[in-house]
Structure 1
Amino acid sequence: MSSSIMAFLASLSLAISGVPRFEPAPCPATVEAGERIDCGFLVVPENRSKAESRSIRLPVMRLRSRAERPAKDPLLFMPGGPGVSAVARLRSGKKNLLLDERDLIVLEQRGVKMAQPALECPEINTLKGEMAAGRLRGASAQNALTKAAGRCRATLTASGVDLDGYTTTATADDIEDLRKVLGYETWNLQGLSYSTRLMLTVLRRHPAGVRSVILDSVLPPEVNFDEVAAVNLLRSLDLVFDGCAIDRECSAAHPDLRKRFAQLVATAERKPLPLGLKESATGGRPVEVRGAQVVEALYNALHDPERIPLLPRIISRAAAGDYSELTPLVEDSLGPSTMSWGLRLSVWCSEETPFEDPKRIAAQRSPALGLGGVDEGTASMETCRVWNVAPVPAEENTPVKSDVPTLIFAGEFDPDTPPDWGRQLLESMPQARYVELRGYSHGASFNRCGGQVTMAFLRDPKGPLPLDCVLQLRGADFGKSAAAP
């Protein structure tokens, strides 16, 4: 960081007493040589509803534009989760085309890994690894997670953490505070997955400071995610089954794919599949590859546009006892969770479960769905009762209405946030535009075509979009599954 920039940021900090304020600081990770990245902390109250609340510190990284005269309104980006770090691995912006035109700012969500405090629950991370390896299942897994949540809550609160301060609205207010202390009149917001909900909340609470919004893989506040978590996965699998069925080559090579999938899951449920897993993936411990592990491996593969066209072949061969292509998918699914579960539970248990139906949530884990009882939900009712945070006002579970120009991206095969969740925003956001990318999945815009559309939108949020590349997308070529690996 140059001395002039450091001096400017220091003077900015001194000019603002108390909180919120910005404090210059070294970057969370060592940045690559030659990068123009400024770092520091946003200092804000832990709980704005309490006058005597302590302050917390949230890492901020500002990647400077390469342009001679950058646009005056930067882009703030935040990733999904909740519980994913935005800054832990950010070291360079050399490949980011956005920096050709404007600055990029990244904020660590309160409670996540690099924030102070970080709401970590290492025991839950470990238990998630046990579940991924098939060593912990069903009711035993849910009971273990609930007990671990109780112990983690006790540890965090004993250290002084006020768990009621870790909500989406609190982070939305952090975003507004950051805009003000950095001196921007307006800026642009980009959110991925859970952070689409976060950016929608900013629009609800602080619309005046927002020039435009980009939402990729939308999680609207009004949907009850845990009630449909497995159904969303089934939707994506059905696209694979049907896509193969109508492809001449794929259907000839892999007929009755839906039936073969059911046979594969049922076989794994009767007896763990004999996969030759690498010791580096298992840590030297036994892994029971049952139905849930098969489905979880396919779920993860559904996030990769390069792997989606190959899923019919992978499923069909595994159903016939050839696990050579399924094995690396299972290996990629192993290991502990990397989420900051204290923050994840605080958000979910205050904003989602209070508005959800326990019976519908439990049904999403039922083996009757044909998914081996896989659990794609976030938190059970039992775990949230132990976590014991205050529910948010009912308004936070309603659609956001806004006239701010908004660009919505969706991926055809997204197993987490189906395209329809993005389309439904058009009902309450008249200045929103929807772009669905065929053949893509969660994080649909993070490719060359999505980047072109994003750049054009940021230049003129109300102008025409270059959609030729979108219209030319063929989608998943399931004929690839007919070829030998």
Structure 2
Amino acid sequence: MSLIRTLPLFVFLFLLSFQYQVYGQSNPIGTFIESPTCPFSLPDGLNLGENFKFGYIDVPEFHDRSSLNSIRLAVAIFPCSNPSIAEEPIVMNTSGPGKSNLDNFIPQIAGGLGNYLLPNRDIVIIELRGLRYSSSFLACGEVFEANKDMLDENLSVEETMFRLGHALRNAKQRFERENINLSAYNNLETAKDIHMVMDALGYNKFNLVGSSAGTLVAHHVIREKPDRVRCAILDAGLPIDSTILFNYVPIIINSLKNYFKECQEDSLCQNSFPNMEERFLKLMDHLNKEPKEVRVKDPESGNEVSVLINGYRLAEHVLLHMFYSTQIPVFIGNILDGDYSSFADFAIGKLSPKFFADGLGYTVFINEAGYYELSDIDIDPKYQTFADGITLSGLGGRYLLEVQKQWKIKCAQASKEIIHESFDTPLLVLNGKYDPVIPVQYDEVLKKQYTNCYIYRFDGVPHSAFDNATSCALPMILEFLNNPIKAPNSDCMNNFKQKYNVK
């Protein structure tokens, strides 16, 4: 394990800041400067300067205006293993927004993914503005500590939001002291960053791969210079549509309702877990009155601590599971039958520090959603407790309104124009039929925005087709990369069928 991963967050931020200051403050804008070291441990088989290059590029804080400030981006390049036949490179962006591209992709490429991609193409991994290894890591440690401090309390929505609002204010003040302008952190500026990086590296055309929130980045990169993008591959592919982001919570509620409906129509599931929807909604309200106490060890201090699982935290627990599993009726059914063993893992997850740029997620989503009001969000009254639990976890339109209240970001309205535009860039979209935040109806939005669009929905798959159906998704991706004007063979999708594992 990398030494950096074991350090407290504030120590890591100090070291990263020190490295940034020492490593040449006067680098010319848009120039790649190779580095003799990396701020992270390299996996086995990856050797800096041999089969892997690493360095930094400074980009303007705002591309379209004069500014003295710049942002330093870390960049990793995996060279093609057959340089004599190298084709257009691949630029890869992961999820969040806020997950480190370098932490996510470097182990994957070194661990086997590179064997499939590198024989024909270079791979470029850019640590986007705001992510862990860029010079402006937008992690809100204040929000993490506030949530951690509240874990042994059973608070109302209003009390929790008040304390989170205070933490957000403190985070904003720290960012200001660090000379970080939060209005510069949106996908419009990020798209310009990516084009500048590819210019600096000497690439003309390139391919894009994006996952989840990284697919939003792909849309803006295409919009910026459509002729430059040979093709794009979207895993858990979102369209540009502002309603998705402020209606995040209602979409998740509808996904949960669909699970309840399916269970009711499945005789085995229904017999095992009768009246699931009603019992689940009652359990959340009951836990808000009488929460379950879970005793776990704090991963940082090693001390035993108390975590209260109330109805709001149960809602968050279920939501997290919805991203990684389609066995939600079984998962909820076991809890309804008194099996609370999964609560311990949830509690440890809430206590574990994460090198995640949640602040970047807030700024990106605020810009993508544009302007809306709380009254625009339609919540089924029966699901208000569930909706509140998701909101308090840091998701959805209501939470974003609280962030905007505290941060006052100048919104670039990233989605305002693109929704009415159409592009002929070849697009491959691999989604799960049971994705909790990307319902099937949004496929039609993508089809209107892209004239050469191939969209596939995997049965029995939640948020990521690549993660949950790799054996099929990867060959489809490779085939599309080789010939993006033709639909890839999708026969392997027949191997994925939804079935509830009811004992």
Task: Pick the TM interval, shorter chain.
Answer: 0.7 to 0.9
What corresponds to 1:346 in structure 2? Answer: 363
What corresponds to 1:113 in structure 2? Answer: 132
Q: Secondary structure at the match of 2:133?
A: coil
Provide closer, same or farther for how the CA distance between residues 104 and 302 of structure 1 changes in structure 2, counting only shifts above 3 A. same
- Which of 333, 340, 364 lines up with 1:316 in the alignment? 333
- Which of 426, 430, 444 lines up with 2:447 in the alignment? 426
- Which of 57, 60, 72 lines up with 2:87 in the alignment? 72
Contact 1:314 1:326 in 2 (8 A): no
- Which of 111, 119, 127 lines up with 1:94 in the alignment? 111
What corresponds to 1:6 in structure 2? Answer: none
Provide closer, same or farther for how the CA distance between residues 252 and 394 of structure 1 changes in structure 2, counting only shifts above 3 A. closer
What displacement does 1:364 show?
5.0
Q: Secondary structure at the match of 2:125?
A: strand
1:49 counterpart = 2:49: no
Provide closer, same or farther for how the CA distance between residues 19 and 136 of structure 1 changes in structure 2, counting only shifts above 3 A. farther
Contact 1:409 1:435 in 2 (8 A): yes
1:465 counterpart = 2:483: no
- Which of 475, 480, 495 lines up with 1:452 in the alignment? 475
What corresponds to 1:414 in structure 2? Answer: 435
Per-residue CA distance 1:432-458 (angstroms, 9 max, x = gap): 110111111112223221111111111
What displacement does 1:194 show?
1.5
Contact 1:125 1:339 in 2 (8 A): no
1:21 counterpart = 2:35: no
Provide closer, same or farther for how the CA distance between residues 387 and 406 of structure 1 changes in structure 2, counting only shifts above 3 A. same
Per-residue CA distance 1:394-434 (angstroms, 9 max, x = gap): 76364142100001121122222333323421012110110
Contact 2:98 2:356 in 1 (8 A): yes
* One-letter amino acid of the counterpart of residue 345, structure 1: Y
- Which of 23, 32, 45 lines up with 2:43 in the alignment? 32
Contact 2:205 2:230 in 1 (8 A): yes
Per-residue CA distance 1:6-43 (angstroms, 9 max, x = gap): xxxxxxxxxxx832111111333221243222111122
Structure 1 window deviating more from structure 2 (276-285 vs 408-417): it is: 276-285
Provide closer, same or farther for how the CA distance between residues 419 and 126 of structure 1 changes in structure 2, counting only shifts above 3 A. farther
What displacement does 1:473 show?
1.6
**Distance in 2 of aligned mates of 1:193 and 1:366:** 29
Q: Secondary structure at the match of 1:113?
A: coil
* One-letter amino acid of the counterpart of residue 372, structure 2: E
**Distance in 1 of aligned mates of 2:486 and 2:408:** 47
What corresponds to 1:439 in structure 2? Answer: 460
1:123 counterpart = 2:142: yes
**Distance in 1 of aligned mates of 2:329 and 2:347:** 16
1:358 counterpart = 2:367: no
* One-letter amino acid of the counterpart of residue 455, structure 1: L
Provide closer, same or farther for how the CA distance between residues 394 and 185 of structure 1 changes in structure 2, counting only shifts above 3 A. closer
1:245 counterpart = 2:256: no
Q: Secondary structure at the match of 1:189?
A: strand
Query: What does 1:70-469 correspond to in 2, within 5 Å?
Result: 70-88=85-103, 90-91=106-107, 93-96=110-113, 97-130=116-149, 137-274=156-293, 276-280=294-298, 284-305=304-325, 308-309=326-327, 311-325=328-342, 327-329=344-346, 331-332=348-349, 335=352, 338-352=355-369, 354-361=370-377, 364=379, 368-371=383-386, 373-374=388-389, 375=391, 376-377=395-396, 379-393=399-413, 396=416, 398-399=418-419, 400-446=421-467, 447-469=470-492
What displacement does 1:106 show?
1.0
Per-residue CA distance 1:220-248 (angstroms, 9 max, x = gap): 33233443222222222223223323333
Contact 2:139 2:355 in 1 (8 A): no
Q: Secondary structure at the match of 1:161?
A: coil
Q: Secondary structure at the match of 1:88?
A: helix
**Distance in 2 of aligned mates of 1:101 and 1:414:** 32
Residues matched between the structures, number: 458
Provide closer, same or farther for how the CA distance between residues 137 and 71 of structure 1 changes in structure 2, counting only shifts above 3 A. farther
RMSD across aligned positions (CA): 2.7
Contact 2:61 2:67 in 1 (8 A): no
Provide closer, same or farther for how the CA distance between residues 398 and 222 of structure 1 changes in structure 2, counting only shifts above 3 A. farther
**Distance in 1 of aligned mates of 2:297 and 2:42:** 33
Runs of 5+ consecutive residues of structure 1 not aligned to the other structure = 1-16
* One-letter amino acid of the counterpart of residue 65, structure 1: C
Per-residue CA distance 1:329-379 (angstroms, 9 max, x = gap): 555455456432333333333442x42222234x65977435162113263
* One-letter amino acid of the counterpart of residue 443, structure 1: S
Contact 1:176 1:209 in 2 (8 A): no
Provide closer, same or farther for how the CA distance between residues 52 and 140 of structure 1 changes in structure 2, counting only shifts above 3 A. same
Provide closer, same or farther for how the CA distance between residues 219 and 146 of structure 1 changes in structure 2, counting only shifts above 3 A. farther
What displacement does 1:82 show?
2.0
Q: Secondary structure at the match of 1:81?
A: coil
Structure 1 window deviating more from structure 2 (185-194 vs 158-167): it is: 158-167
TM-score, length-scaled by structure 1: 0.86
Contact 1:213 1:404 in 2 (8 A): yes
* One-letter amino acid of the counterpart of residue 87, structure 1: L
Provide closer, same or farther for how the CA distance between residues 134 and 297 of structure 1 changes in structure 2, counting only shifts above 3 A. farther
Structure 1 window deviating more from structure 2 (435-444 vs 249-258): it is: 249-258
Provide closer, same or farther for how the CA distance between residues 345 and 393 of structure 1 changes in structure 2, counting only shifts above 3 A. closer
